[in-house]
Amino acid sequence: MPEPIVLVISECNQTDSCKIINDIRNCPPEDNVCEINGKTGYKHSISSKYYQTDVVLYPFPASDVLSECNENFLELIEGVLIYFNPSNREFLDKLESYANFIDERGIELGILLCERVFDDSKDGVTYKEAKKFSRLLDLIELNPDNPADGEPQGGYDEVHVALRNTIWSNISMSGDENKSGTVKKSSDLSEKEIEDKLADFEKLLTQAVNFRSNTADLGRNERLLYAQQFADAFESIFGVESDEDGDDDEDASASSYQKFE
């Protein structure tokens, strides 16, 4: 399966897309590259607790028209990252077109990236203005001004978190080989336990199929929480049970799934 593409677009004359990609990958630019549509793409490995995969960070000129790309290329796009200069208020004129493209293509990940937004619109783009399309484009500041406790700290670490918490089309689920404890064998389960687990699994499959529609109106952080609850529920049904705390894990499994429902 082809790697999903994350478009990296720079709307800032002083910073090009390749600079952003290099900062995300944090490796020599010539490493792990590929060619797409006659241009260089940069593979980026993502590994989380639940899956591992590669995506292609693809520099896309801001002057090009996204809708004019060929359909085969458009179908591979699963993320859009737009770097902008917050001092340039003219960028706001383009914001809606980016949001519409993400919405129309059903793209899961949309990020607006900048150094720091302003408090006053007289100085440049404000937080409120940048968050106008927050359902589709989340804002990440590389150098936020004194973030409050509990607020995202910004920077490329937050970009990496967003990449890890996206459900990519080519994910390979991480195994349980390194987890402590043992998995309870199906032969050790009673008929009722098996029926209950199958029923829970059927509900999870329904949630997975409807994931995009269920989260369409949520912001990125809310979608991440929903995805985390889904992953926890999945792990509760098929995950590891500690040898010493088997009964406690059964209770945890039930409570986790009930919370997700």
> What is the model's pLDDT at position 29?
86
Pick the CATH number of 5-164 from 1.10.420.10, 1.10.1740.10, 3.30.1380.20, 3.40.50.300: 3.40.50.300
pLDDT band at 173 (very low <50, low <70, confident <90, very high): low
If you count them, how many residues does the chain have? 261
Which segments within 26-86 are labelled E, that is strand?
33-36, 39-47, 51-59, 77-84
Provide the token pair at 126: 């404000």
Residue type at 64 in one-letter notation: D
> What is the model's pLDDT at position 37?
87
- Quote the CA–CA distance of 40 and 52 in Å, as a whole number: 23
- Quote the CA–CA distance of 230 and 210 in Å, as a whole number: 12
The residue among 170, 116, 162, 115 whose CA lies nearest residue 137 is 162
> What is the model's pLDDT at position 222?
73
Question: Chain-wide mean pLDDT for the chain?
Answer: 81
- Kindly state the percentage of the chain with pLDDT values over 90: 52
pLDDT over 50 (residue 136): yes
- Quote the CA–CA distance of 198 and 232 in Å, as a whole number: 16
> What is the model's pLDDT at position 146?
64
Give me the residue label for tokens 């920077």: 155
Give me the residue label for tokens 């960028």: 91
> What is the model's pLDDT at position 185?
45
Dihedral over alpha carbons 37, 73, 155, 43 (to 10 degrees)? -60
- Quote the CA–CA distance of 222 and 232 in Å, as a whole number: 15
Report strand pairing: 77-84 vs 109-114.
parallel
User: Which helix (H) or strand (E) segment is 205 a member of?
Assistant: helix 191-209
pLDDT over 90 (residue 249): no
> What is the model's pLDDT at position 245?
45
pLDDT digits 0-9 by tens, 190-199: 676 677 767 7
- Quote the CA–CA distance of 46 and 216 in Å, as a whole number: 24
> What is the model's pLDDT at position 157?
93
246-253 long-range contacts (CB < 8 A, ≥24 apart) are 246/184
pLDDT over 60 (residue 124): yes
pLDDT digits 0-9 by tens, 61-95: 999 999 899 999 999 999 999 999 999 999 999 99
Domain locations in the chain as residue ranges: 5-164, 181-260
Burial class (CB in 10 A: 0-12, 13-18, 19+), 234: buried
Contact 137, 102 (CB under 8 A): yes
Cα Rg of the chain (Å, integer): 21
pLDDT digits 0-9 by tens, 145-172: 765 555 555 789 999 999 998 989 988 7
> What is the model's pLDDT at position 180?
40
> What is the model's pLDDT at position 229?
75
Task: Give the bridge partners for 59, in sequence order.
Answer: 8
The residue among 29, 30, 39 whose CA lies nearest residue 7 is 39
Give me the residue label for tokens 């029926």: 195
pLDDT digits 0-9 by tens, 209-221: 666 667 766 766 6
Contact 59, 18 (CB under 8 A): yes
Contact 169, 78 (CB under 8 A): yes
> What is the model's pLDDT at position 23?
96
Dihedral over alpha carbons 192, 193, 199, 204 (to 10 degrees)? 180
